[in-house]
Amino acid sequence: MRNNELDAEIWSWTLGLAFPDLVLPGNLGGLVVGSQPYLGSLQDNNGLFNNDVPLHLEAFYKVELSQNISITPGFIWLINPNQDRDNDNIFIGTLRGTFRF
């Protein structure tokens, strides 16, 4: 008899650190380390599924240009994307502008 049911768990976690008034008052630095949702404890007898934990590393720095305008450059590094260590790492640069009225 063949059993087509698979049992797995979905995991996700994050640790964030914020550094207010870093370098200058009003600025904010931050670091994020975590993992986007992934399958854990999956028993794949065929070897078709990799059970590598995907990691997400992020750094950003918000710069207050004025009382109403700030820019936040950031950098994201994805390790083991799609839960497979054979995939190349992904690097993402970000730039956010905030206007408060």
The answer to whether residue 55 is domain-embedded is yes
- pTM assigned to the model: 0.81
pLDDT in tens, 22-54: 999 999 999 999 999 998 877 666 666 767 899
**pLDDT given at position 12:** 95
The answer to whether residue 4 is domain-embedded is no
Contacts 24+ apart (CB under 8 A), 91-98: 94/60, 95/71, 96/71, 96/72, 97/69, 97/70, 97/71, 97/72, 98/62, 98/69, 98/70, 98/71, 98/72
The answer to whether residue 92 is domain-embedded is yes
The answer to whether residue 2 is domain-embedded is no
The answer to whether residue 60 is domain-embedded is yes
Please state which of the ranges 15-19, 28-32, 65-69, 74-78 shows the lowest mean pLDDT. Answer: 65-69
The answer to whether residue 50 is domain-embedded is yes
What's the domain count of the chain? Answer: 1
Domain hosting residue 71, numbered range: 9-99
